[in-house]
Amino acid sequence: MNARSKKFLSYYRPYWRWLLADLTCALILSATTLALPLCIRIITKDILETPGPDALNQIYAVGAFMLGLIAVHTLCDMFVAYQGHVMGAQMERDMRRELFEHYQKLSFGFYDEQKVGQLMTRLTNDSFDMSELFHHGPEDVIISALNFAGAFFILVNINLELTLIIVLFLPVMAVYAFVFNRQMRRAMRRSKDRIGDINAQVEDSLAGIRTVKSFSNEAVETRKFATENGRFLESRRQEYRSQTYFFEGLVGFTHLLTLVVVIFGAASIVQGTLDLPDLLTFLLYVGILIEPIKRFGNFTRLYQEGMAGFERFMEVLEVAPDIEDAVDAVELAQVQGNVTFKNVTFQYRPDVAHVLQKLSLEIKAGEFVALVGASGVGKTTLCALIPRFYEVQAGEILLDGVNIRNIRLCALRRNIGIVQQDVYLFAGTVADNIRYGKLDASEEEIIAAAKQASAHDFIMALPHGYATDIGQRGVKLSGGQKQRLSIARVFLKNPPLLIFDEATSALDNESEQAVRASLEKLSNHRTTLVIAHRLSTVRNAQRIVVLAPTGIAEQGTHDELIARGGVYANLYNVQSRM
């Protein structure tokens, strides 16, 4: 048994009692299904052929026994239908939770290469298909195997010659099923990939709906969606074709089998080797023999759909997080905020150029440092390496003299506050979004943080104050308001190390002044790194570090760098003339 099979079976472990009860009911269902035709045979052959004086009572007794069998059969069928589905849904929930938790562990590098729609499909559609397989798989196998074996044994005892005719059909049906089963599996995998592509396209278009409308490109997005929709339709067409060949072919074989039994059975009656009650019983058991074949067909569909989903599920689950806590990782009690880069080298992928090469930089606790330079020289990358959003390929980064690889990720990131240009706010209320910085914060702490971020006044002007719903990604707020909420969130977090990534560049002058005042309050007595394209915003930095493709080109105060007449002076003069 390979690792994936073991993983699949492991999801049954918490529910083994329910699985055992489900399979017990499946055994009873199979037994009652096989017993009912025998009861009919007793009435038609043993009682009616030579009716005695007590025949009526015998018929009633057998009828009462059959009624009991039907009652037991119905109760077991109801248990399997309900509790089996609940068990499958619980296992689906467990898998979905495990995959989502795994998503949380994966680094930025993973998400840089993925489409959100595809990841969502693996979490929703694929897990549902697995739920159906988890539920129906075991019971279908048990019921089919027992019904087939039991019916076959009884048929042999009724008439061996007719049973041998049935046996001749089975190899042909098995080969037919095997061939089209493989085609169906490939078609279902393609179909799942295509629905993932559709979800990715929808997510991309709807997330950027404001950009779409601003460029009047609704028709373009509609065409892109139509392309993915068409590809999905074609994959479904192939899937339905393979399913049709598989299922309807097996149905055709079963009808042919019934026809052969009727013809040869009738001939046997004429020849005197079979009587009519035995032929009726034989036909009933042929129906029971055919039912497992149909059930097997349904199981095959569920198996292919479920395993196609499980393969996609495992493809992500088997992606090992490339950034994890070291075995001996430590907590940091009191972080001062000293950050040191020692010969740091980094590239996003092996097939692209290095963004940073052997870069060394030391930032003292409480120092206000600005990172400037042309686009693409690695300013944002440099800051993203400090909280270990990405892992360096060579060199090391130290926080208060400790290699960040040896600090627990949770502890490391708890001590870093990041304010980005592209603010992300979650659907919910103003208070919910500020509280994201400290989940157990009281209402008083939230209001205090909002006041420090100069956000309290505009929040109170909202329809419901701190309880106002701000919509998906905060669409009901202005850019400056969203930015101040993100700053309030960091105030609440109260970290010793701050990173500002172009936090004011997209704002109007009035909002920029308000946000900059908030940032200045926030940066007091904290180690602060500011990424800036607008050089006028960092004139008061204690140190300005100028990055170039070759590394650090120069560093110093604004006045020192202007006097030097180097890269910074050229950049500043160009911006001053604009």
259-279 pLDDT, tens digit per residue, is 887 888 788 777 777 777 777
pLDDT given at position 262: 81
CA 545, 548, 554, 560 dihedral sign is negative
pLDDT given at position 312: 83
Asked whether residue 381 is domain-assigned, the answer is yes
- Residue 578 to residue 258: CA distance in whole angstroms: 89
pLDDT given at position 514: 67
Six token digits for residue 197? 């592509």
Choosing from 317, 348, 365, the residue where a domain stops is 317
Do 385 and 293 have their domain in common? no
Choosing from 317, 349, 371, the residue where a domain stops is 317
Asked whether residue 6 is domain-assigned, the answer is no
Do 348 and 484 have their domain in common? yes
Six token digits for residue 51? 């009716």
CATH number of the domain that 531 lies in? Answer: 3.40.50.300
> Do residues 160 and 152 touch, judged by C-beta distance below 8 A?
no
Asked whether residue 5 is domain-assigned, the answer is no
Tally Cβ neighbours within 10 Å of residue 318.
11
Asked whether residue 329 is domain-assigned, the answer is no
Choosing from 317, 350, 372, the residue where a domain stops is 317
pLDDT given at position 1: 65
Do 358 and 214 have their domain in common? no
pLDDT given at position 210: 62
> 354: domain range?
339-577
pLDDT given at position 396: 94
Do 288 and 369 have their domain in common? no
pLDDT given at position 331: 87
Do 424 and 573 have their domain in common? yes
Q: 495 — phi, psi (to 5°)?
A: -90, 160
What are the strands, taking DSSP E only, across 444-548? 497-501, 527-531, 543-548
CATH number of the domain that 32 lies in? Answer: 1.20.1560.10
Do 312 and 343 have their domain in common? no
pLDDT given at position 503: 63
Residue ranges for the chain with pLDDT beneath 50: none
pLDDT given at position 346: 92
Do 250 and 357 have their domain in common? no
pLDDT given at position 405: 92
As for how many domains the chain has, the answer is 2
Report how far apart, in Å, the C-alpha atoms of 364 and of each of 198, 368, 458 are: 49, 9, 36
pLDDT given at position 392: 92
Do 556 and 503 have their domain in common? yes
Report how far apart, in Å, the C-alpha atoms of 518 and of each of 144, 452, 481, 484, 485 are: 70, 7, 12, 8, 11
Do 284 and 422 have their domain in common? no
Asked whether residue 3 is domain-assigned, the answer is no
Do 456 and 533 have their domain in common? yes
Q: Give which of 243, 249, 258 is closest to 176, Cα–Cα.
A: 249
> Do residues 535 and 572 touch, judged by C-beta distance below 8 A?
yes
pLDDT given at position 275: 77
Do 490 and 374 have their domain in common? yes
Asked whether residue 328 is domain-assigned, the answer is no
Asked whether residue 4 is domain-assigned, the answer is no
Do 360 and 483 have their domain in common? yes
Residues forming beta bridges with residue 469, ordered by sequence position: 429
pLDDT given at position 385: 92
Asked whether residue 34 is domain-assigned, the answer is yes
Supply the pTM of this predicted model.
0.76
